[in-house]
Amino acid sequence: MKNIMTYKGYSASMEFDPDDKIIVGRVLNIDDIISFHAESVDGFEQVFHQSIDDYLAACEQLEQVPEKPASGKLMLRISPKIHAAALKSAQQSGQSMNKWVESVLAKTIHS
């Protein structure tokens, strides 16, 4: 089980630091770095919410669009010919269509 809290579509990891006896959090799945800490779960939740609210307010003040975390869902419209070829390639590789597309995208992104 992962220790994750969500607020306004943002998720934060929760990790206990035994040396400082605090819970350290970081917002996940965005490039902007938002981190915070608290001494209790209730305090963590309050600081997390405040961190997100402050981030959104800062973006608005700077006239920047706040980064939104990716959901992991991707809807595409492609030609039936490409769709059929992708299905065939996925089957030949022994993968589901989702796993095959994920691997193709990962190779392309990391190239």
pLDDT-above-70 percentage for the chain? 97
Report the pLDDT value the prediction gives residue 93, as an integer from 0 to 100. Answer: 93
Whole-prediction pTM value? 0.69
Q: From 74, 75, 66, select the one nearest 10 (Cα to Cα).
A: 66
Give the pLDDT of residue 110. Answer: 78
Q: 82-104: per-residue pLDDT in tens?
A: 999 999 999 999 999 889 998 99
Distances (CA, A) of 76 to 1, 68, 71, 83: 31, 19, 14, 10
Average pLDDT in the chain: 92
